[in-house]
Each structure stands twice: as structure tokens, then as C-alpha cells.
Structure 1
Amino acid sequence: MPIASTTLQHLNTVAQEQFEPCFVYDLDFLRDHLSTLMDQDVVKLWYAVKANPLSAIVRTLAETGFRFDVASEGELQQVLAQEVPASQVLNTGPAKSRRQIDKFIALGVRTFVAESLNQVRWLNEAALAHDVQLQLLLRVQLRWPKGEKNPLGGDSLTPFGLDPQQWRGLYLADYPALQCIGVHIFQWGNMLSADKLLSLWQQMLPPLKALSEQLGFALQVLDLGGGLGVPYDDNSASLQWQDVLRALAQIKRESGVQELWMELGRYAVAECGYYLNPVVEQKENYGEHQLIVSGGINHILRPAVAGQAFPCTLLRESQAKPRKFNIHGPLCTALDSLGTHTLAQDVNENDWLVFSQTGAYGFTESMPFFLCHPMAAEYIIDNNVLHLLRESASANSYLR
């Protein structure tokens, strides 16, 4: 995706005043994008805070009407610190301890996704102790029989939720402080096809509806999680929101639920973020051209985790011929690779690279302490004004 001219001007300003890698988040773009997502009555949208918990990002989402999916006490505290009411919070995540559940309820959270029979019991006990009523969704993990094509993209067992057979042992009448309003299911990621999403959702409906009938609760809410993707290469088309809405509207009709929920992370915030990275040197090894850059997976870990690099461009314009470069960060491990990218062949040690789509799963998914390189600075563009939120910090700021 081309960088808007006004944003590009701000990125150049940052490159002139910084020496170390940094992140820039365009809140003006983000507001426009979120307004488009919210201008509909098909699905209730929650923001998966794990994608980017930056205060300015959270506040911008809250201003546009998003609710918040939090999976840890730290995420909850960060959301509440931005003056988001606890009533706008949904607690997800596989590791809900008794202590965490009690803390969430004490802070006002009333909607939870249960991942296990233990969690149902603990939620009920804590709700009774606090004399409150909780809304509950059961997270379901589906697997298809061996030998059959699995529409959910694989047979890997995960810690998220339970299979329908395990949930069938639940007797909801034993938990008077819980109102079971629906089910939660999410077993895919970064999907770029609305048709594929519709097919997945349609194949999940029969077992989910059967489970609600067997447990004796009305399926008021169907939470489809996240998984809406953004393209990380030039060969992939963007997922169009209107196509997604049409698919969701069809699922809402076919399921008969009162509400559809989704927890968007990447699709909500990825495109507002940029990671600026200065080039250290260009060199050649065994016929391969390499660029060594100042920041790597210590700031953007996704390439090593997902095997998929963030898109990369040269900040300045160049008329030089293009060439493929293998880009490597500063860490003493071969894992520190930011992918293979086609750039102008005259790129040199005075240049900056721009990695886009880093508004999601950027800095807070990284490993910033390894090798004691500087922490990345963070900027925002707000009402076309550039603001420095955090200076680049050396290792002596956290090492004791």
C-alpha cells in the first residue's frame, strides 16, 4: 500500500531527528479506518488489545466505539487507565487463574469467555463471593475426524477452549451466578478471503448450535473471534470490509443469533503503523546481496515467529535498478531476518527502510532486551501533528 504524502513527510522528519529505529502510528488514518468498520449494524466489534496496547491507540479505538478484548491483568489495567468502563471489557485467554478472575470481577468486568470446566466453576464461585451475575461464553475447539478435510486449517491441538464432548458434561443449573449467552470459536489467522471465511463459519454452525441445544441455553451470541487479515506482500489482495459484512450478515441469518461478535486486532490497527529502520551496510555473500540494519526481531519479531515478513520500502526515492536483498537485523542469531525484499540497488548506510503494517504485532510482540540494543522510540501522528511518545532508551534504563 503506498504511503500517503502527508504521512511520508512525517516519516522523513522522524528520520532526520532519530539515529535509532522507531515506530510511527498514524492516528488520523486509524480514525478514518475505524469509522468505516463501525458504520454498520451487523456485528459488535471488540479490539484485541494484544495487537497493540499503546495508550493512544486504545483511546482512539474507544473514541470510535470499540469495546475491548483483554487477556491479562496488565491489558485490563492499561484499558481502564484510558477511562474505558469495565462494562466495555471482555475477558478472553486460556490462563484465567482464580486470582485473576477475582481481580477482574473486583474491577467491574462482567463478561467472560470460559476456556475450561474449571474456569466455569471458578467464575461462578467468584461471582457468588462478589454477589454479582456474570455473562458467559463457552469457547469451543473443533476438530474434524482423521482423514477428512479440516475446514479450520489443521488438526493441531491448542489450549483454547474445549471440544464439544467435554462441554456436554456441563450442567449450567449448577452455576446460578452465570448466564450463558453464547459460544466463542476462533481457530484461524490472517484470512484474506471473505468467501473462505464464510465457508468456515457455515461449517461450524451445526456443531455449535447442537451444543447449545444439548446444554439447554439459547444461542444469543456467536463470537467469531478475529482472524481478518492484512496483506504482507504485493501478490495478496486486501480483504474488503463490505465483503466481510455480507458474509457476516449471512451467518447471522443462518445462525439465528441476536448478536455476532468479533475481536479485531490486526485488521483494526496494522495499517496505521510504520517501523523506520536505518541501514548499517550493504554487502554480498556467495552471490546474495544483504542489508544489515539497526533493528531486527528485537523490535519486530513476527518474521521469525510467523515466517512472514513485514512489507518494506526505501524511504527516499531512487532511480536505480531494483535488486533483491536479504535483510538482517543486529542480533547474533540467524533467526534475525526481516525477509527478502526488492529495493533500489543503490541503498546504502545513509538510508532508512520503512516496514509497514506494523501497527499490529510490532513492538510489544518483540524481544527488545536481547543483546542490549536500544529500545525503539514511538511516535504518533495526531491531527497531522507529529508527537514523540517515548524516546529511544539504552539498556542501562532497565538493567540493574
Structure 2
Amino acid sequence: MDHFGYRNGEMYAEEVPLREIADAVGTPFYCYSSATLERHYQVFTEAFAKQGLDLLLCYAVKANTNQAVIGTLAARGSGADVVSEGELRRALKAGVPAEKIVYSGVAKTAREMAFALESGIYQFNVESVPELHQLSQVASEMGQEAAIAFRINPDVDAKTHAKISTGKSENKFGVPWVHARDIYAEAARLPGIRVVGLDVHIGSQLTQLEPFREAFERVAGLIEQLRADGHEISRLDLGGGLGIPYDPTDPEPPSPDAYAAMVKEVVGHLGCRIIIEPGRLLVGNAGILVSRVIYVKEGEERKFLIIDAAMNDLVRPSMYDAYHEIVPVLETDEMPEPCDVVGPVCETGDTFARARPIPPLGSGDLLAIRSAGAYGAVMSSTYNTRLLVPEVLVKDGKFAVIRPRQSYEQLIGLDQLPDWLAQ
């Protein structure tokens, strides 16, 4: 569920008409709904509360790093899952307590480790033996102890897009589960390291529970072995990855209630504190990208709807062949016609939809690309010297610009000429 809908034939974000925002900030722009963010957080946490599980929800900041988005979730009690020093700084600045922050990622540097230790984060999710030794050295030199969980690669096929699968043996993430006992034993001997848990994350946009169940059953058995080896495993980080509905014709992904019940069934007996790192599930359907039609072009074999948003603004369709529902901001009774929705970037891949049935639109008309709150603005670029677009947050009947549109002076001013060209 989200809070974008039609009233009297016009699309609103909560109580604000999208046309009003477009007139104020121009197009294209991202629009996020506070009510949707808050509701998704509430539904997810309540699902685990019903099961009597001790839950720490850590929002996966990489999905959408805007301070206002992180802050909205932090105000509800959310922690954060971060994968860089920059994301850690964003989370702290947005109001996430350090003791609710988990640091993931395969390439943490010594500098990043030191900053995280100084900040007092909750846990490092360690992904390799070299990383373990680096963290031991940094923590020891600082006179601190790093609480760690190893990210275990369970070699489970998430049955999702190959570019967002993370739990197979061929992926770069985590340590092989078959070597886990030896690696935990090594960690227990190192200074500056305190083993507290186990972490697993098998991929993103999962629409079935079975891959989760298979991975969780595997790590549940491993935890029992590790405890028998003398390790105190009190935390179990189950990662994120639960999918959202992008295409309204597809079957609904599992609900948070069904997911939480499965977690209780498979790992509830372990008595661990459960850490979950949802990203897309919280913010994906809380955001849309609003764009304006520039031209309607009749090609030799197909019709093109050329809009002012492009692949540099929303790269998912180009990168993942991802589906996003595209709807007009003003409803119409006219019959949809198949057309290609494309942007201005000089790449054939700058395409949002091919042969998609869409009601007839003309130059100047507004459309909304739905489910764009996750991996949208955060993955945008300035390719073709296109400006980063504004982001807007709606709360009831108000809206605020939470990232202004970049100016050409700001963008081009990032370049610096060497002395020999400055003249």
C-alpha cells in the first residue's frame, strides 16, 4: 500500500496534488510520502512483535540515502544498516543512534573501521578473513573491542535477478558456510574482536519465502554447531531482501506477517536477537518519479513517448530491465496505446518501457513512474551533463524540497582546470 492515488481524476501524494509540486519545483522530480514510509515501518515491526521476537530493524541506507527519509524512519525507532563511512555519517546525522547501526560491506578500509569504532556502532558484519585481521589490528591499536558477526554465504539461490543475488558461492559476499567453524575459531583467538553473532543476506527483491527458509535453516544449524564449539552467539542478522510489487499484474510478494511467522518457525528456538535490514520494502513504494512529456514521436514501427526524465535519473530499467508502472497524473478514459517511454540521454538503453499500453498523452502532460523510492535518486548520475533532480517529501497537506535541483554552475564548477589550461 502507498499514499499516491487519484482524486477527481488527478493524482495526489497524500493531500498534495502532484501538479502543484510540479509547478513549484519543475520536472522531473522525486516525490516521497511520509505516511507510506511510516506505515511500512509500522507493519514490519508489528509483524515481528506478534511473534514475540526481539527485533532490531536496521534500515538499509543504500536504498535511499536522503537525510529526510532516514530521519523519518529514525523518528519511528529505526536503526541503520550501512556499507560505507559516508552512509554511516548520513545515518548519524539523520538521528540514528550509533548503538543501532550495523556496518556491512565487503571492502571496509582501516579508516572506515576506526571511524565506526569511534562512533560506537552496534556491530560489524565481517565478510572475509583479511577483513577480520584488519579489524583486529585497528581495534587493538585503539584499545577497543569490535563486536562482530560473520556474514555467511549459504550457497542458496535466491531465484532473483543475477545482478542482485548475493547468497550463492559464486558471489563476492560473505564467507563460505562450510568453512565457518574454522573462521569463528580463528576470530576467537584474535585481540580486539568479540564474536557476538551470525549474519546472512542472500539477495534483493525476493518474492518467495522458500529461499529465505533454506538459508535460515542452514544458518540455524550452524549456530547450534558454533555454540557447541564454545562461541556465544546471541545475535542473528537475517539481512533484507523481501520484495515489493512493481507490476500490478504480478502475484503479491509475501507479507511481513508471513515472513515474520517463517522466521519464528525456523530460528525462533535459538533465542537470538533478530536483526533485519529492509531497504526496498520500506522505501520502494513510498516514492515516485514525476516527469513531463517533451515530444510524442511516431516512428517507422512504433510510437515514442519522449519524457524529460532519463536513465541518469532512474537507472533500474536500463541496468536490470526492471519494470516500473507508468501512469498519467491526470486520469483519462481514452484507450491505452502501446508506446516506448524513453528519455533524452544519447543511449538506446535510455528506455523506461517498451510497447507499454499507456493512455494517449501529449507534449506537456505529466506522468508518474511508480515504485521509485528505492535505488532511484540514490543511484542517479549527471551523465550527458544532466542536473541531479530535486527530491520532495510530502507530509499530509504539505511538501518540502529535501534536495534542491542542482544548478549548472554547481555541476560544472566541480571540475578544476590544471595550471597549463587555466590561462
With the length of structure 2 as denominator, give the TM-score of the two structures.
0.86
**1:224 is matched by which residue type in structure 2?**
L
- AA matched with 1:190: Q
What SS class does the counterpart of residue 317 from structure 2 fall into?
Answer: helix
Q: C-alpha distance in 2, partners of 1:250/1:136?
A: 25
Give the aligned partner of residue 419 of structure 2. none
2:35 to 28, 36, 51: 28
Shift of 1:211: 5.7
Identity %: 23
Mean alpha-carbon deviation: is it higher for 176-185 or for 220-229? 176-185
Question: Is the contact between residue 70 and residue 91 of structure 1 (CA under 8 Å) also seen in structure 2?
Answer: yes
Query: C-alpha deviations, 1:101-131, integer Å up to 9, x for none?
Result: 1121122224101111122122222222222
For residue 94 of structure 2, what is the aligned residue in structure 1? 82
1:70 Cα deviation from its structure 2 partner: 0.8
- Pick closer, same or farther for the CA change 1:378–1:289 going to 2, 3 Å: same
Choose which of 308, 328, 332 in structure 2 pairs with 1:314: 328
- Mapping of 1:254-265 within 5 angstroms? 256-265=270-279
Aligned counterpart for 1:294 among listed residues 308, 312, 317: 308
Question: How many Å apart are 1:224 and its aligned residue?
Answer: 1.4
CA contact (8 A) 1:152 1:187 kept: no
2:108 counterpart residue number: 96
The worse-fitting range, judged by mean Cα deviation, of 72-81 and 190-199 is 190-199
Between the aligned partners of 1:79 and 1:151, the Cα distance in structure 2 is 28
Distance 1:204 1:263 in 2: 17
Q: Contact 1:252–1:259 (CA<8 Å) still a contact in 2?
A: no
Query: In 1, are the aligned partners of 2:313 and 2:389 still within 8 Å (CA)?
Result: yes
**Do the aligned partners of 2:41 and 2:282 also contact (CA within 8 Å) in 1?**
yes
- Note if contact 1:195-1:247 (Cα within 8 Å) is conserved in structure 2: no
Instruction: For residue 166 of structure 1, report the CA deviation from its aligned partner.
Output: 4.1
The answer to whether the aligner puts 1:7 opposite 2:13 as a matched pair is: yes
Alignment of 1:147-166 (within 5 A): 150=157, 155=168, 157-166=170-179
Gaps in structure 2 of 5+ consecutive residues: 416-423
1:248 matched to 2:263? yes
Q: Distance in 2 between matches of 1:274 and 1:215?
A: 50
- Structure 1 residue ranges, 4+ long, deviating more than 6 angstroms after superposition: 151-154
Alignment of 1:126-275 (within 5 A): 126-143=138-155, 150=157, 155=168, 157-170=170-183, 171-206=186-221, 208-209=222-223, 212-213=226-227, 216-236=230-250, 237-253=252-268, 256-275=270-289
- Structure 2: how far apart are the matches of 1:98 and 1:215? 30
Q: Summarize the alignment of residues 55-66 of structure 1 with structure 2, pairs less than 5 Å apart.
A: 55-66=67-78
| Higher mean C-alpha displacement, 319-328 vs 46-55 | 319-328
CA 1:196–1:217 in structure 2 vs 1: closer, same or farther (change >3 Å)?
same
Q: Shift of residue 196 of structure 1?
A: 5.0
Q: 2: distance between equivalents of 1:83 and 1:188?
A: 27
Any idea what SS the aligned residue of 1:375 has? coil
- Matching residue of 2:26: 19
| Pairwise CA distance, 1:324 | 1.9
Matched with 2:420 is none
1:271-318 Cα shifts (integer Å, max 9, x gaps): 111110111111222322211111111111111121113221111111
SS at 1:398's partner residue?
helix
8 A Cα contact 2:158 2:202, kept in partner: no
Is the alpha carbon distance of 1:124 and 1:110 closer, same or farther for their aligned partners in structure 2, counting shifts above 3 Å?
farther
Match of 1:373 among 378, 386, 391: 386
SS in 2 for 1:128: helix
TM-score (structure 1 length as normaliser)? 0.90
Q: 1:147 is matched with which residue?
A: none
Residue 406 (structure 2) pairs with residue 393 (structure 1): yes
- Report if aligned partners of 1:20, 1:374 keep a CA contact under 8 Å in 2: no
2:267 partner letter: K
State the shift of 1:44 in Å.
2.4
Higher deviation after alignment, 40-49 or 267-276: 40-49
String of CA shifts for 1:189-239, please: whole Å, max 9, x gaps.
211233553344335543x33662575413322211111111111222143
Contact 2:37 2:286 (C-alpha < 8 Å) held by counterparts:
yes
User: What do residues 128-163 of structure 1 show as CA deviations (whole Å, max 9, x unaligned)?
Assistant: 22222221100111337xxxxx56668562221111
Contact 1:281 1:293 in 2 (8 A): yes
Q: Distance in 2 between matches of 1:18 and 1:82?
A: 24
CA contact (8 A) 2:380 2:388 kept: no
Deviates more, 1:83-92 or 1:210-219: 210-219
What displacement does 1:45 show?
1.1
Q: Report the 3-state secondary structure (helix = DSSP H, G, I; strand = E; otherwise coil) of the residue aligned with 2:289.
A: strand
C-alpha distance 241-351 of structure 1, shift in aligned 2 (>3 A) = same
Confirm or deny that 1:338 pairs with 2:345: no
Task: State the SS of the aligned residue for 2:17.
Answer: helix
Deviations, residues 251-281 of structure 1 (Å, cap 9, x unaligned): 2235x14222210100011111111011111
Whether contact under 8 Å (1:192, 1:230) holds in the other structure is yes
Secondary structure in 2 matching 1:65: coil
Contact 2:154 2:215 in 1 (8 A): no
- Measure the CA separation in 2 of the matches of 1:319 and 1:156: 51
Code of the aligned partner of 1:280? I
What is the match of residue 360 of structure 1? 374
Per the alignment, residue 421 of structure 2 pairs with none
Q: Whole-Å Cα distance in 2 between the matches of residues 116 and 232 of structure 1?
A: 34
Q: Which residue of 2 aligns with 1:37?
A: 44
Change (3 A) 1:110 1:240: closer
Question: Aligned partners of 1:374, 1:82: CA distance in 2, in Å?
Answer: 25
Which whole-Å CA distance do the structure 2 matches of 1:200 and 1:184 have between them? 11
